[in-house]
Amino acid sequence: MASRLMLGFAQAAFGPTALIILAASSPQDRLGRSTALFTAGSATGRSGAMIIGGGLLAVLSWSGWFGSVDPWRVAIILMTLPNLILAWWLWRRIRATGAPTPSRRGLRAAVRHIASTRALALHMGAGVAVILLIQAGAGWAPSVLNRSLHFAPATSAWVAGLVILIAAPAGHLTAGRWLDRNVAGRRRIAPVMTLGAALAVCGAALMASGDQAVLVLPGLFLLTAGGGAAALTALGGLAPITRPDMHGSVVSVYLAVCAVAGTGLGPVLTGLISDTFFPHAEGLARALFLTIAIAGALAIVLSLAGAEGWRRLATKSQNSH
C-alpha cells in the first residue's frame, strides 16, 4: 500500500508540471494539439499497459524463469525499466532547454481566482463531470464485457484495452485540432465539449442495449473517443482563459478536483447504482449508462452556461498579448 501511495503521489506531481512546460514551450496556435499529444500518450499508455503487462504476466507465469518469486512482482520491476531509461533521456534533454518561470501565485490565490471568475468555474465544473463519466466507463468496461458478452475476464481486459488503445488517441487528437482552430478564431469551444459528452452518452446507451458485440464494442469506442475529446477540450481550454502567472496553480487545482470528484466518484457511483437498482448481472451496463448520462448532461449544461463567458475571457487574453 505504501508503494502504491508513493506511485500515485509521483504521478500526481507529473501532470501539472508537464502541462506547465507544454504551455510555456508550445506556440499558442498549436497548444491544443500539443496538449492532445500529451493526453493521448497518457491514455495510450494506460491501455497499452493492460495489454503488455497482461502478456508479460502470462509469459512469466508460464515460463517459471524466476523460480519461487511471484510473477506479478517480476512484472512490476520489468515494467519500470523503460520508465527509468526514458527519465534519464528526458533529464538530458530538459537540461539543455530554458525552463519556464515558476508561478509566484499559490493555490489559495488560484482558488480565489476560480471562485471569482464564473466562466472559469463553469468550464472547470464541466471538465470534472467529463472526467467522472470517463473514469466510470474505464473502470467498469471490462466488467461490462464480461457480464454482457460473457467474455472471460482476461479476454474482457484485452478487448477493452484494444478498443481504448484506438479510441482514446482518436478523440484526443481530433479535439486538439478543433480546439486550436476555435481558439485562433476566437470562437466558443462549448460545441466541441458538448458533442464529445453527447457521443459518450450515446456510447454508454449502446453498451447497455443488450448482449451483442456489434453494439457493445462500438459503444465502448464512442464512449472513449467522445469522452476523450471532451476531456481534452476541458483541459486545453484552461490556458486561453487563465492569466499566465496563475496557469500552473489553476491547472493543479483542476487536476486535484478531477482526481477526487471525477476519478474517485465515477466508478463508486456506478457500483452503488448497480447494487441498489440493477442487482442482476446484466444490470451493470444500465447502471453505467445512468451514471454517464447524468455526468454527461451536467457537463453539457455547465459548458453551455459558460460558453459566452469563455469566449470573452479568451478574446480579452489574446488582445492583452
The grid coordinates listed for 248 are: 500552473
The grid coordinates listed for 213 are: 458485440
The grid coordinates listed for 182 are: 476555435
Q: Is the pLDDT of residue 102 over 60?
A: no
Mean pLDDT along residues 83-105: 72
Q: Please tell me the number of Cα atoms within 13 Å of 192 on its side-chain side.
A: 29
**For the chain, what percent of residues have pLDDT higher than 90?**
38
Mean pLDDT along residues 34-57: 81
Mean pLDDT along residues 229-233: 94
Please give the residue that has the higher pLDDT: either 301 or 321: 301
Q: Is the pLDDT of residue 65 over 90?
A: no
- DSSP class of residue 170 equals H
| Of the candidate ranges 88-97, 140-149, 209-218, 254-263, the one whose mean pLDDT is the lowest | 88-97
Please give the residue that has the higher pLDDT: either 244 or 310: 310
**From CA 240, how far away is CA 251, in angstroms rounded?**
12
174 pLDDT band (50/70/90 cuts)? Answer: very high
Q: Is the pLDDT of residue 64 over 90?
A: no
User: How does pLDDT run across 248-294, given as a tens digit for each residue?
Assistant: 889 889 999 998 888 888 999 999 999 999 887 678 999 999 999 99
Q: Quote the pLDDT of residue 183.
A: 79
List all residues 6 or more positions away from 233 whose beta carbon is below 8 Å from its beta carbon: 175, 178, 179, 189, 192, 193, 196
Mean pLDDT along residues 183-196: 85
User: How does pLDDT run across 103-138, given as a tens digit for each residue?
Assistant: 556 788 889 989 999 999 999 999 999 999 999 998
The grid coordinates listed for 101 are: 518561470
List all residues 6 or more positions away from 247 whose beta carbon is below 8 Å from its beta carbon: 20, 23, 103, 238, 239
158 pLDDT band (50/70/90 cuts)? Answer: confident
Q: Which of 146, 123, 95 is nearest to 242 (CA)?
A: 123
Q: Quote the pLDDT of residue 96.
A: 62
**From CA 87, how far away is CA 84, in angstroms rounded?**
5
* pTM of the predicted structure, to 2 decimals: 0.84
CA distances from 237 to 106, 119, 200, 206 (A): 21, 11, 19, 29
CA distances from 93 to 14, 40, 211 (A): 17, 21, 50
The grid coordinates listed for 48 are: 497499452
Q: Is the pLDDT of residue 234 over 80?
A: yes
Q: Quote the pLDDT of residue 42.
A: 81
Q: Quote the pLDDT of residue 8.
A: 81
Q: Quote the pLDDT of residue 216.
A: 94
Please give the residue that has the higher pLDDT: either 197 or 79: 197
